[in-house]
Structure 1
Amino acid sequence: MIYNLVRAMRLMVKKPQGQEKMSKFIGRRVVFSALIIALILLGLATGIITPNPRPF
């Protein structure tokens, strides 16, 4: 995720000469984050992950 952010930042700073677009790297980051959230929710729903009953 951090790698894709750095690549997108580098493309923002300099004018891209190649075919790679900044939105590709940001899109990968968004998809990766969505997959992680979905896995966490799936783990909570199936009981693999148990939330802390008292957070303090």
Structure 2
Amino acid sequence: MLLKILIICLLIFMVFNLFRAMKIMLKGENESESMTKFIGRRVLTSVIIILLLIIAVAMGWITPNPRPY
């Protein structure tokens, strides 16, 4: 259950950074904040989520669906 909550929080953080980058992109150039910082955080969050899922399947904490259809 803790793993699911962590993944959901990371997904919310990823979407939040996506919208922050969109806000900066639409507003124009801003010296203090860079759009690439938020996009980089989004990519890093995606990598962490994928690694957590791989580790959880390998350790047996979660089981994948045996029939994907």
**How many matched pairs?**
56
Q: Which has the larger radius of gyration?
A: 1
2:51 equivalent to 1:38 = yes
TM-score scaled by length of structure 1: 0.86
Q: Please, which runs of 5 or more residues in structure 1 have no aligned partner?
A: none
CA RMSD in angstroms, aligned pairs only:
1.2
Structure 2: gaps (5+ residues): 1-13
After superposition, the C-alpha distances for 1:7-53 in whole angstroms (9 at most, x for unaligned) are 11111112233311000000000001100000000011111111111
Q: Percent identity, please.
A: 54
Q: Is 1:53 paired with 2:43?
A: no
1:9 aligns with 2:22: yes
Distance across 1 between alignment mates of 2:43 and 2:67: 31
TM-score scaled by length of structure 2: 0.72
